[in-house]
Chain A
């Protein structure tokens, strides 16, 4: 008796009653991936602008309106970049940087999410932690490098520790907020249907928190790359940060810019991978999967 009617209600455009306002993650920070949903005009416009700026750079440098020693023409940087990629030198350095950034992100992301979620779910624990966290959180991660050197020396361990510290905080903040996302009806529904406390936490509070956690982790990933490069400049014998600084000191701006471009590519690439993973994890959400 219902079939026909149910069909009618489907319509062409199912109504999108979002369960709670809190489910929608905050808008991701603007990034170079362009406008989501692939609307072509803005993306094409962005490409033209980029090409125009590169040509302008080339011209200014060739005309010596920019100091060629500090700003070589784009074509020179391009050649240098290509040569460094072919020789494998830059790839090796980028590999080191990526490994350190991912390790730091893994440690800091997991730690930040676990701490933040626990603080959000258990208010007593959250209150107990607050003072300590609010003291540590604003600490510039770079200030930890000297301490880290004493314990970890130069290189991998140091980079992982400093980047992990830095990227834990965005993850922490997102997880604290995320733990409060499930509304009272959802929590009560879990109780009515006999879920135990731990089951509510794992099967209700955690998935409800996931969109916000993902947004926080995405910020954390970008932070991890930036902090690893910074740490490499200050205290590592290799990696992109060290490569860039050495090139600069040696008076080889072409190499230096090639390294900087590589950092940009690494950041953008990791971000793209993360966004794709997030899209899969949040396929149930109208924002991430269904548009």
Chain B
């Protein structure tokens, strides 16, 4: 269980007024759950993920994982950054990027290479293994960063708008890939997106945030059967109801 309690973060710059990004956010992510986080741009979603991952100290409040407070990135968590291009190591190929984060993982060299290659194949980049990040398009870089995060094998995945710059078709494929991996391997996922449909389609629970300083506007359980289907699930009454409720909520706040 990942618990976020009264999380507050204000950025203080020398001289200029402090920006209060998070104004006391509390919710929890049960083990094995898929939670989507939606909210208007600039409300503090990326900030929240960085605090959850222990990359940033919150101003107040705390994040606990199975009862223990997180103060540095724990080994069972992987964060896939919103800015994928800037998070890939430019001196490694795409394959090299994945192999590098697997350095200390258990298993033989050959096994790890196999893991890396299959992660690349899963996101459709098998033919680009030996390319450097700058040789890929923005969407391909995002997929490479996703592959690296999945290959790492963390139990908890934090994803920050990972499908923001891919086309609609690829996006659906990647959504299903992520949903499949999460279910098969029982992963806990905290998924940030600004796309309400995507949030509902993937999640067991959607957490909606208010404009900054962000608070939790609503927590909505999504009562849709798994596995989900791009056509059928999106036409389901319950999908449409949830979608409408979140729309109304985000418009009002």
Show the binding face of A for B, using Cβ within 8 Å.
1-3, 5-7, 9-10, 14-20, 23, 183, 185-186, 188-189, 191-194, 203-204, 207-208, 210, 284-286, 290
**Quick check: is B134 within 8 A (CB to CB) of the other chain?**
yes
Which residue of chain B is the closest to A16 with respect to CB atoms?
B134
Contact B124–A186 (Cβ < 8 Å): no
- Ordered nearest first, which 5 A-B pairs have the shortest CB separation? A2-B124, A185-B86, A193-B101, A185-B87, A14-B135
In the complex, which of the residues B53, B55, B127, B173 contacts A1, with contact meaning CB atoms closer than 8 Å?
B173
Show the binding face of B for A, using Cβ within 8 Å.
50, 53, 55, 72-73, 75, 77-79, 81, 83, 85-92, 100-101, 104, 121, 123-128, 131-141, 152, 169-170, 173
- The residue in B88, B132, B136 that gathers the most chain A C-beta atoms within 10 A of its C-beta is B132
A-B contact count, CB below 8 Å? 99
Report Cα–Cα, A186/B50, bound state, in Å. 14
Which residue of chain B is the closest to A17 with respect to CB atoms?
B85
Some 11 contacts from A to B, beta carbons below 8 A apart, are A5-B169, A9-B137, A14-B131, A17-B85, A23-B90, A188-B50, A191-B73, A194-B73, A194-B75, A284-B132, A285-B90
In the complex, which of the residues B53, B133, B136, B173 contacts A2, with contact meaning CB atoms closer than 8 Å?
B173
Contact A192–B79 (Cβ < 8 Å): yes
Task: Tell me whether A186 and B86 are in contact in the complex, defined as CB-CB below 8 angstroms, given that A17-B134, A284-B132 are known contacts.
Answer: yes
Report Cα–Cα, A286/B135, bound state, in Å. 8
Residues in B neighbouring A192, C-beta threshold 8 A = 53, 55, 73, 77-79
Residues in B neighbouring A286, C-beta threshold 8 A = 132, 134
Task: Tell me whether A5 and B170 are in contact in the complex, defined as CB-CB below 8 angstroms, given that A15-B138, A188-B81, A189-B81 are known contacts.
Answer: yes
Interface SS of chain A: helix
Contact A19–B90 (Cβ < 8 Å): yes
Task: Tell me whether A6 and B55 are in contact in the complex, defined as CB-CB below 8 angstroms, given that A15-B138, A17-B138, A194-B75 are known contacts.
Answer: no
Residues in B neighbouring A189, C-beta threshold 8 A = 81, 87, 89
Residues in B neighbouring A3, C-beta threshold 8 A = 124, 126-127
Residues in B neighbouring A193, C-beta threshold 8 A = 78, 100-101, 152
Apart from the given pairs A15-B137, A17-B133, A189-B89, 4 other A-B contacts in the complex at a CB distance below 8 Å: A3-B126, A5-B170, A189-B87, A193-B100
Residues in A neighbouring B126, C-beta threshold 8 A = 2-3, 6
- The residue in A3, A189, A207 that gathers the most chain B C-beta atoms within 10 A of its C-beta is A189
In the complex, which of the residues A6, A15, A194, A204 contacts B125, with contact meaning CB atoms closer than 8 Å?
A6
Rounded to whole Å, the gap between the CB of A210 and the closest CB of chain B is: 8
Report Cα–Cα, A8/B75, bound state, in Å. 37
Which residue of chain A is the closest to B148 with respect to CB atoms?
A193
In the complex, which of the residues A2, A9, A183, A207 contacts B86, with contact meaning CB atoms closer than 8 Å?
A183
Residues in A neighbouring B85, C-beta threshold 8 A = 17, 19
Report Cα–Cα, A192/B53, bound state, in Å. 8
Rounded to whole Å, the gap between the CB of B99 and the closest CB of chain A is: 12
In the complex, which of the residues A183, A186, A194, A204 contacts B104, with contact meaning CB atoms closer than 8 Å?
A194
Rounded to whole Å, the gap between the CB of A60 and the closest CB of chain B is: 52
